[in-house]
Amino acid sequence: MKTTTRSPRTLPLRRSLVSLLTAGVLGLGSLSAAAATEMPPLPEVKGDVVQGNGKDYSLKFNIGLTQSSAQYRGLEYFKKIVEKRSDGHIQVQMFHSAQLGDDLQSVSALQAGTLEMTSPSTSPMVNMFPQFAVFDLPFLFPKPEVADKVLDGEIGQRMLKEASTKGLVAIGWSENGYRQLTNSKRPVSKPADLEGLKIRTMQNPIHLDIWRTLGANPTPMSFAELFTALEQHVVDGQENPWITIKSSKFNEVQQYATETNHVYTPFITLVSERFWNRLPADYQQLLRDAAKQMGDYERHVSRSMNDQIKQELADEGMQITELTPAQVKVFQDKLEPVYADWRDKIGGDLIDSIRQAASSAQ
Ligand code: KDG
């Protein structure tokens, strides 16, 4: 086990002195630039202008993560593609930080036709689409390439078709990412360290099973309520990808983190069927193309920044525990019962086909 940290008292002071000096030269604006990790530049828009039917459309796209998330960066690219290739006939309004509701509220708004698009995590939607629960099984995706192979392959495309119902049209995948545990109480390097820790999970039965099986005391909660619950010690900990821990400032209320990579969570890109049916076919295809390009770019942003963000969190005083393969195995073995509990409900064939994809990608 390796612990990465710097004594919180010294580093920020020294760093701000350096930044102040350079800012003195470069002006205040660069202060935050010096501190924050740069997002990869938005790619050029590929593809010709689409004819459409000459009518104008306004599209509200709401997400749950903040403006400094990889998800929002992906959405900026989506807006650039759609507005350029529709020659401005489709205008995209972007909303972040659950401004128009959290994941489940956004999905309901799509079904009601009061919102046009959103990209929730699959985890809160397993009651609506039980097949999504496969993504919540621990340690199923050993590396991101396996997730890409599954999501961009037959399984992922079939799931998009299956999720195009109940007033929704599912048109693409993007990446929430590999989840890491954080808490405000103590370093965690083995399941026993979780004893009595109140851990917030997504509203998802497998995640509750995971943390209960590991010995913690899990409680489901909407992402929109999480920061306040951590700040007020309603819960002791939570788990999310490094980029979400940073972009949602969880490190300001969480001292300890453990690099568990215990679950890979995808985002699914959804359109309101009512809005979809008003679009001409070539604009529908434009949204599909843009969702694919948004997903690929967002994955690139999420992965290219992962290690950098983790180092920044350590630089800013977070005590990060990196587990050895043997320590990860202890968590994996302790979670085997979760597979036994959920295999039949999710479907053994689906799990085995993903495990096959994983082994052939090794
Ligand atoms: O809209 C934001 C949620 O999709 C996302 O962050 C879910 O990872 C998530 C969490 O922890 O709720």
pLDDT value, residue 361 = 75
Does 295 contact ligand 1 (Cβ within 6 A)? no
Structure-token pair, residue 362: 């090794």
Structure-token pair, residue 32: 């935050």
Q: Which atom of ligand 1 is nearest to the CA of 223?
A: 12
Summarize pLDDT for 238-272 with one digit per residue, the tens.
999 999 999 999 999 999 999 999 999 999 999 99
Ranges of H-type helices in the chain: 10-26, 29-35, 70-85, 103-112, 144-152, 154-162, 205-213, 226-231, 242-247, 273-276, 281-315, 325-334, 336-346, 348-360
The amino acid present at 335, given as its one-letter code, is: L
Does 180 contact ligand 1 (Cβ within 6 A)? no
Does 101 contact ligand 1 (Cβ within 6 A)? no
Q: How far is the CA of 19 from the centre of ligand 1 (A)?
A: 33
Q: Which atom of ligand 1 is nearest to the CA of 123?
A: 7
Residue of 94, 242, 244 best suited for mutating to test ligand 1, as the one with most atoms within 8 Å of CB: 244
What are the residues whose beta carbons fall under 8 Å from the beta carbon of 251, sequence distance 6 or more?
A: 182, 245, 257, 313, 316, 317, 318
Summarize pLDDT for 56-95 with one digit per residue, the tens.
999 999 999 999 999 999 999 999 999 999 999 999 999 9
Residue found by looking up tokens 């993560």 in the block: 65
- Rounded Cα distance between 62 and 176, Å, is 15
Q: How far is the CA of 131 from the centre of ligand 1 (A)?
A: 18
Residue of 100, 119, 176 best suited for mutating to test ligand 1, as the one with most atoms within 8 Å of CB: 176
pLDDT value, residue 38 = 77
Residue of 240, 248, 263, 267 best suited for mutating to test ligand 1, as the one with most atoms within 8 Å of CB: 240
What are the residues whose beta carbons fall under 8 Å from the beta carbon of 17, sequence distance 6 or more?
A: none
Residue with the nearest Cα to atom 8 of ligand 1?
Answer: 240
DSSP classification of residue 279: S
Report pTM.
Answer: 0.90
Among 213, 233, 246, 244, smallest CA distance to 315 is for 246
Does 64 contact ligand 1 (Cβ within 6 A)? yes
Reading the chain (362 residues) residue by residue, the pLDDT tens digits are 556 554 444 444 444 444 444 444 444 444 444 456 678 999 999 999 999 999 999 999 999 999 999 999 999 999 999 999 999 999 999 999 999 999 999 999 999 999 999 999 999 999 999 999 999 999 999 999 999 999 999 999 999 999 999 999 999 999 999 999 999 999 999 999 999 999 999 999 999 999 999 999 999 999 999 999 999 999 999 999 999 999 999 999 999 999 999 999 999 999 999 999 999 999 999 999 999 999 999 999 999 999 999 999 999 999 999 999 999 999 999 999 999 999 999 999 999 999 998 888 76
Residue found by looking up tokens 């679950």 in the block: 263
HSE value, Cβ hemisphere, 13 Å, CA-based, for 155: 20
- Rounded Cα distance between 172 and 289, Å, is 9
Does 199 contact ligand 1 (Cβ within 6 A)? no
Residue of 123, 125, 199, 207 best suited for mutating to test ligand 1, as the one with most atoms within 8 Å of CB: 123
